């Protein structure tokens, strides 16, 4: 299917993701999380989840990914629960480069690699590299337009989806409140560009409990375009795995 301007769209999907999955769960391999993978597995089983994606933070210099994957893939099987893997990396710059080790990117989807890379907007992917929220706010105060900032973010995210091939968009737009913007500043064209890239590359997009994003407008528009929305807690503690206080109360 396609829109009148030729943008690829898929069949419509639900605007509220299934809460039987948690597609973004951190373990002690991330230095800011406290639970071991086996504790997250047990929590996922207790919560009655059918899918859990175990994910930890990486940078280009990270070396622990083989041991992380060995631990996760060595977990005891739980009936009815599928365990997926991933690494979370920030989008570095406007070219869509991501802050992950090249050998990890090369091994994506292989038995010796993670299933997917979670693309994170922890900083603004600028033309010359990542801009911190503070730097971004300073440049906006000096005259950079909000629409140009959003262009950078959207263009880099679209390019990262295509470059990585096996991505998942983590907490889309979580950066915006940190730079004084909101999803109301995002144009329909930007939403549609993200949707087209997600559909074309088969990239799932998170609805993230921790960051409470994206909002209803993006979710509805993306679902109508055929984007696969997946639920995630971004848990850094096993007690939060599969716990959806905000997401569970959403109408759509
Ligand atoms: Zn993140
Ligand atoms: Zn995370």
In this prediction, residue 14 carries a pLDDT of: 83
Q: What percent of the chain has pLDDT over 70?
A: 96
Q: Which of 181, 182, 236, 179 is nearest to 209 (CA)?
A: 236
Closest ligand (CA of 234): 2
4 pLDDT above the threshold of 70: no
Task: Give dist(CA 114, CA 107) in Å, integer.
Answer: 7
The mean pLDDT of the chain is 96
In this prediction, residue 9 carries a pLDDT of: 76
CB-CB contact of 213 with 206 (8 Å): no
Distance linking the first and last C-alpha atoms of the chain: 24
Tens-digit pLDDT profile for residues 94-147: 999 999 999 999 999 999 999 999 999 999 999 999 999 999 999 999 999 999
Question: 61 C-alpha to center of ligand 2: Å?
Answer: 18
Closest ligand (CA of 89): 1
Question: 27 C-alpha to center of ligand 2: Å?
Answer: 10
- What's the predicted TM-score (pTM) here? 0.95
Mean pLDDT to the nearest integer, 168-188: 98
At residue 11 the predicted structure's pLDDT band, cuts being 50, 70 and 90, is confident
CB-CB contact of 92 with 98 (8 Å): yes
249 pLDDT above the threshold of 80: yes
Distances (CA, A) of 7 to 160, 192, 216: 18, 8, 22
Domain chopping of the chain, boundaries: 21-235
Mean pLDDT to the nearest integer, 41-67: 98
Distances (CA, A) of 37 to 45, 92, 183, 212, 222: 12, 28, 34, 24, 32
Question: 4 C-alpha to center of ligand 2: Å?
Answer: 37
In this prediction, residue 3 carries a pLDDT of: 56
Tens-digit pLDDT profile for residues 65-75: 999 999 999 99
252 pLDDT above the threshold of 80: no
Closest ligand (CA of 57): 2
Of 4 and 176, the one with more pLDDT: 176
Q: Which residues surround ligand 1, an ion (CB under 5 A)?
A: 120
12 pLDDT above the threshold of 90: no
251 pLDDT above the threshold of 80: no
Closest ligand (CA of 172): 1
Of 1 and 224, the one with more pLDDT: 224
Q: Fold for 21-235, please state it.
A: TIM Barrel (3.20.20)
Question: 57 C-alpha to center of ligand 2: Å?
Answer: 7
7 pLDDT above the threshold of 80: no
Spell out the SS3 assignment of the chain.
Answer: CECCCCCECCCCCCCCCCCCEEEEECCCCCCCCCCCHHHHHHHHHHCCCCEEEEEEECCCCCCCHHHHHHHHHCCCCCCCCEEEEEEEEEECCCCCCECCCHHHHHCCCCCCCCCEEEEECCCEEECCEEECHHHHHHHHHCCCCHHHHHHHHHHHHHHHHHHHCCEEECCCCCCHHHHCCCHHHCCHHHHHHHHHHHHHHCCCEEEECCCCECCHHHHHHHHHCCCCEEEECCECCHHHCCCCCCHHHCCC
Question: 30 C-alpha to center of ligand 2: Å?
Answer: 9
2 pLDDT above the threshold of 60: no
Closest ligand (CA of 87): 2
Question: 234 C-alpha to center of ligand 2: Å?
Answer: 5
Among 18-27, 37-46, 200-209, 242-251, whose mean pLDDT is lowest? 242-251
């Amino acid at each position: 299917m396609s829109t009148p301007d030729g943008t690829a769209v898929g069949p419509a999907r639900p605007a509220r993701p299934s809460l039987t999955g948690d597609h973004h769960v951190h373990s002690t391999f991330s230095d800011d999380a406290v639970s071991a993978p086996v504790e997250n597995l047990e929590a996922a089983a207790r919560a009655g989840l059918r899918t859990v994606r175990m994910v930890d933070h990486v940078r280009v210099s990270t070396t622990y990914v083989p041991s992380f994957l060995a631990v996760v893939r060595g977990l005891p099987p739980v009936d009815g629960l599928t365990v997926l893997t991933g690494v979370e990396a920030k989008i570095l710059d406007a070219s869509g480069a991501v802050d992950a080790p090249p050998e990890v990117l090369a091994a994506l989807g292989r038995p010796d690699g993670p299933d997917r890379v979670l693309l994170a907007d922890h900083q603004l992917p600028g033309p010359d590299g990542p801009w911190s929220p503070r730097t971004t706010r300073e440049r906006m105060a000096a005259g950079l337009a909000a629409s140009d900032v959003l262009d950078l973010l959207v263009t880099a995210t679209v390019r990262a989806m295509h470059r990585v091939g096996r991505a998942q968009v983590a907490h889309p737009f979580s950066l915006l409140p940190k730079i004084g913007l909101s999803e109301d500043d995002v144009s329909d064209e930007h939403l549609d560009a993200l949707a087209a890239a997600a559909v074309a590359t088969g990239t799932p997009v998170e609805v993230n409990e921790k960051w409470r994003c994206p909002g209803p407008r993006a979710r509805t528009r993306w679902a109508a375009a055929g984007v696969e929305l997946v639920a995630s807690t971004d848990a850094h503690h096993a007690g939060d795995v599969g716990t959806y206080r905000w997401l569970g109360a959403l109408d759509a």
